Chain A
Amino acid sequence: MNKKAPLNRPQTSMPYRTMLKSIIPTACVAITLISALAARAQDVTLKNGDWIVAFDKKSGALVRLESRTTRWNIESRPNLGVSFRLNVPADGHDNFMYGRDQKAVEVTNLSPHQARIQWKDLVSQNTGTLPITLTAIVTLKGDALSFAATIENDSSQMVSTLDYPYFGNFNPPTPGAKMHTEHMWYANLVEGDIPGREVQSKQSLFCLVQSTNVGLYVEMHDPTQPYLLNFMFDRRGFAKSKENPRRLEFYTTHWAYVHPNTTVSLAPIVLRAYEGDWHAGVDCYKEWRATWFKQPHLPKWIQDVNAWQQLQIDSPEQDFRVAYTNLLSYGQECADNDIAAIQLVGWNHWGQDGGDPAEDTEPGLGTWQQFHDVIAQIQAKGVAIVLFGGKPNWADMTQPWYTNELYKYECTDQNGKRYEQGGYSYYTPTQLAGLNNHRRAIMDFCDPQYRDIATHEFEKVLALGAEGWLWDEICHHADVYYSWAPDHGYTPPGYIYGGDLPLCQEIREAADKVNPDFVLAGEAPEDWLMQYIPISYFRIGNDSRPVCRYIDSKIPLMCAVTGWDDREMLNLILMDRYIISYEPFNFKGYVEDFPLTLAYGKKIDSLRRRYKQYLWDAEFRDTLGATVTADGKVRHTVFVTPSGKRAVVVVNQELDKPITAMVSMPNPGMLIVATPEAPDPMPTDGTLKIPARSAAVVMEQ
């Protein structure tokens, strides 16, 4: 119904002049659009069932991009097309080479689905023409549109960055539709504004441009982190300007640092359009990931339903709270409560966040032998000790080892100055105010000699006989991306995140020599690192989205539980098939210190053991495949067993109100329901009464 024309009011005829005023602008827009969308003679066009992409023959600029499957005209105004931007800093200042100032020497179809574009002797802003050649190969293959670029730098200057591909007028799927970014970080899917802060490949190999039920998946097609890639959005121009109209630019910045007289092939950028929400975008990543992700070996105990405790026993403030020999009572308590492992923190010399990267024992807690023996005693009870120890990322600058040796392997900036990280605060008002913290130098993982030192330290962990190691802060190197330190075994700058994979690999190899079942865990390692560090430990909030679980239904993901009756967190853990990490007093107590949390957690794990095929061994689908409605705050997730049977975990998030929830699935079979507190199966039609702060699981028979 046309709400603008009420039926009970007689229509008046539109005056001729008014009608003209209305028609003319519309016609102009339509003509502009038609002429823009029509294939231009001066373009080279690639086309298949999924994409149309066109390049200006003279400039090589991308002048048209359309996703045919989603009917999204991503780039539609040829005059706003851009080819690339390259930076060749001179005298410490940016010196850009804008695509608009270049002339393409070649824009040709290699095939109906592939084009080659080349620019030579590039003109810079400040240093004239330089002998640099940029060659792009654009390929259509199914729904994937890829942009590969090679830089031949025959000049005497370093190329720092290349912005390519470059969309000079990035449109939303429909006029005015909102768009935002999505990317992986810290086991979460993080939403960002457009324009807003850049998305960085050090956190996520893909960036989703998400709009209402349609999106664009943009991938750095190289899982080895050869350099930093930024996904960038910039708002340009002015609303009333014809020459410089208001528009949104989107481009990827390759921080490639191409040395003089070298040729570098950059990581291809792959675009795939999709219909749906972030799940559909992440499905694109899952498909690609399956082609390169090397499944890690996992011992059987971590594959089963299991729970952990995290326990800290000392800090840099030398509290020496739990002597090594006193650890046995913690181990016994874990054994008594079906807790499979203790993540032990602060056992190392100078306690948690002190003494990095050393993996030596702390004399204030006891002797090496005492520690070695108590580890063996606890593990004999069936409780694995996983040592959270010195972190290779840092060197504690208060330590003589740093002063005498480790400084040689630290990252430095372009002026030769050391980067620093501020350290962390523990217990005393002095440290909690940020005074007297152990500041750390940032270590260069690109340096093979330093990686040897780090691996040697790790061997000390192996010698203690523990069953695992947890690498805290594996996820970052403070604010340092590149090091310019000389004599580190490569020509600087070195991309520090690029050293992560080699070091993880070396550590895994060292562990395998001693114990192939030795587990390696990390604090929310980036997805590609999970090939070597497959256990991810992290903290979540109620708005966290379980992207890592959606990508891999079975990889061990562990989540901290700290509240004294933390049903909300435990229900999320049940929903997302996370491992429970019990942490009373922020991981400084006994698990029986918070009996309400422990009791509910044990009920959840008991339920997961009883219905393992549904809640542990099944495929995690997040919210897909079922809908849940309720008369209160409710959340749900869906699991699908290998035989296709579905389970829906429903959580009442009301604090004090029971709810009635209705679970709907297409073509449901016979349904049963069980809860952590009433685990025996009961038949259900999908309508559930769930108490406040509680969960129920509906399972298809």
Chain B
Amino acid sequence: MMTSTKRRIAAGVGALLVAAALGGATPAAADPDNGPSNTPPPKVDLVLDLSGSMNRNDAGGETRISAAKKAFNEILDSLPDEALVGLRVLGQGNPGDNQAVGCRETAQLAPVGKPNKVAMKAAVAAQTPTTGWTPISLALQEAAKDLGTEQGSRRIILITDGEDSCPPTNPCDIARMLAAQGLSLVIDTLGLVPDERTRDQLTCIAEATGGTYTSANNAQELSERVTQLVDRAVVKAEEVTIPTTIKGSPNGCADAPILGPGVYADRILFEQHLWYKVPQLPGQELRASATVGIDRAVARDYDATITAVTEDGRDLARYTDAGSGRMDGQSAGLRYSLPGKGDDEPKPKDARFTCLMVSTAFNAGPGVPRDPGMPVELLVDLVAASDAQASDTHGLGRGWIFIGVLAGVGLVGGLLFGWLVRLIAGMRRAV
């Protein structure tokens, strides 16, 4: 009782001081949990390699291309109706040794939208492998364009049997660049009877965009995997979280962006600090989590730290977690409660800024690109504050076992005392 009264008074005084500093704030209209109601449904673009090597007869007793075609028929049959799926090929045409032409060969067979399964099947059936090159980088860039630029979940499923044969671009760098463009984009890769270099490149593309890599050796494996990937991608639009792209301040809290509750995406360079600030009302608890995605080959040990500080630099809460080895990301999260002031509804002018700093300790070899930075997913949430310290129980008890023990001791005490009195009375009578 005493402590809570004291706390309330202290909070009230603090709030008064902050009120003077902030003044005239208005409540935001943002409703983070329902998000913008016009979230577009997830989109998938399938990209199929048609280059010459697809003619090889080593995909479970048939040529790679016929395995791919067979798989595509099954995939198209099992496409859920609500899926927005497009189809693109690369390396079609017969440019022969003309690399300049061959490296521009990519075409859209079906635009991203409700799939016209009959037309798509016919389009796939009509394709024959060629003497073509394998311009993966170009195909990925075009596929990203196919998916459009509206906010939403976007996924490319790349099916190829060979590495990019169009130097000098490395498709892995292209993939990382596409993922860093601010629109959520994931590339899943499938290697059809892959050799070592293909595997290297496809794993790198998947890692750079947070996608998955799978190798398939026959039509069944291929169709099973693609169907699963499409199933995963095609979820209800309202269940998709699209992080808002944000640019944290590397300089400090003063010019940091002001964030409301929700999910944000940013990029962090090695050895960079990213600052954000959140207006917090008395009685609100700030919850923040940051996940730094490991999208390139980094040194073995690393960590991520999230720190909450006041505007004048006092530490409020911090959390660091370290990781090591092969992993997809490193996360950290914290809670910080601003005590409420009595039962009064807090007013917007009582709000004060809590600064959030995300920092990392990552390192990488000289051949690993530093730019663009690693992806950061930041969650900011404001919920009802919990008590900052355990309440004083004054040594009092609680619960049925507690009552039972008291009752038992009382009963045994009474009985013993009764028998003692009887014994003494009996002895006295005997005397």
A and B part of one assembly: no
A interface with B by C-beta (< 8 Å): none
Residues of B within 8 A of A (CB): none
